[in-house]
Structure 1
Amino acid sequence: MHPIAAARRLVWLMALAGFAADQITKALVAAHLEGQPPIQVVGDLVSLNASRNSGAAFSFAPAATAVFTLVAIGVVVVIVRAASALRSTGWAMALGLVLAGAAGNLTDRLLRAPGLGRGAVVDFIDVRHFATFNLADACITCGAVLAVLLSMRGIPMTQKTAPTAEPA
């Protein structure tokens, strides 16, 4: 298989898998955990505790939901456009994860109450003394860390083309 086709497939596979896992877990949490006491998973360190977040990470700027909706749309558009030229497996994985997370949280912002573009994201993984987040957030974080590592190693997203000779 051609490297571009393989990388493009991997982006979509990662994005679909992450998006599906995120949306399924959020639906289960909304149906079964909202309004219930937290469920301890790892002692007092990690629990499942349903909450809604209209802001960004760590509930930053809860009044800026519309801004975060627009940013997420921009991220999705940029990654979808970049995917067409990818040749790197690592970058395909990184961008697929970020795409999964951005699309997962964007879906909440578009479809959940209080309305279109203003919906609150469902968070449920509560790590004591840290934050409450969801699988979309985990995908974004893992994809971003992978992107930083790939950048630090100098691995390009696309294959560099050989310089062309300038006419004399």
Structure 2
Amino acid sequence: MLAAALILTAADLALKTLAEHQLTSTPGPRLLGLIELRLTYNTGMAFSLGAALPHGIIVAGTGLLTAAVAAYTWRTAPTTPLAGRIGQAGVLGGALANLIDRGRDGKVTDYLHTGWWPTFNLADAVIVCGAALLVLTTVRQPAPTPDKDPARWT
């Protein structure tokens, strides 16, 4: 799971660098079917919430949230089904990529635009898909049965 999260992190950071280079060398949006490449920067959190807050607070909050995701993933991975672990890797990889990107210059590079949704990046898409997969896995997983051994209650 950690390897998958790190691969997703590296892929996102590479694509952000490529998009930034390509879209600043020849400005203007580029249409790719249903998705348009458009360079924007997000100084806030999701949907630019908190953009007026100081950079340090945003980075610290993002760092704490990423650490919480990592701790949850570490703790629950042994009992999580494969699909859930894939979702956890996506959420962790995307969160880590956005944290690293934000830590470099105080903003997250976004480059994918649909016209009906705020501009986003690969990490954002992986976080959303990973969270959806994790929720679906959790909903489909049977509830744990209570331990019937009275010796464990003491």
> TM bucket by the smaller chain?
0.7 to 0.9
In structure 2, C-alpha distance between the alignment counterparts of 1:28 and 1:71, rounded to whole Å: 27
Distance 1:72 1:160, change over 3 A: farther
Unaligned 5+ runs, structure 1: 1-10, 113-118
User: Secondary structure of the residue that 1:84 maps to in structure 2?
Assistant: helix
Higher helix share: 2
Once the two structures are superposed, the pairs formed by residues 1-168 of structure 1 within 5 Å of their partners are 11-34=1-24, 36-42=27-33, 45-64=34-53, 65-85=55-75, 86-87=77-78, 88=80, 89-112=82-105, 119-154=106-141, 162=147, 164-166=149-151
CA contact (8 A) 2:84 2:138 kept: no
Unaligned 5+ runs, structure 2: none
What is the aligned-residue RMSD (CA, Å)? 2.5
In structure 1, C-alpha distance between the alignment counterparts of 2:94 and 2:11, rounded to whole Å: 10
Which amino acid counterpart does residue 60 of structure 1 have in structure 2?
L
Distance 1:90 1:68, change over 3 A: farther
In structure 1, C-alpha distance between the alignment counterparts of 2:58 and 2:146, rounded to whole Å: 36
Distance 1:165 1:70, change over 3 A: same
In structure 1, C-alpha distance between the alignment counterparts of 2:97 and 2:137, rounded to whole Å: 24
What CA deviation, in whole Å up to 9, does each residue of 1:88-143 have, x standing for no partner? 2122111111111111110111112xxxxxx1100000111211000111111111
In structure 1, C-alpha distance between the alignment counterparts of 2:88 and 2:61, rounded to whole Å: 16
CA contact (8 A) 2:91 2:131 kept: yes
**TM-score, with structure 2 as normaliser:** 0.82
User: Secondary structure of the residue that 1:63 maps to in structure 2?
Assistant: coil
In structure 2, C-alpha distance between the alignment counterparts of 1:154 and 1:59, rounded to whole Å: 34
CA contact (8 A) 1:109 1:121 kept: yes
In structure 2, C-alpha distance between the alignment counterparts of 1:27 and 1:77, rounded to whole Å: 24
In structure 2, C-alpha distance between the alignment counterparts of 1:160 and 1:12, rounded to whole Å: 29
**TM-score, with structure 1 as normaliser:** 0.76
Which amino acid counterpart does residue 88 of structure 2 have in structure 1?
L
Percent identical among aligned pairs is: 29
The number of residues matched between the two structures is 148
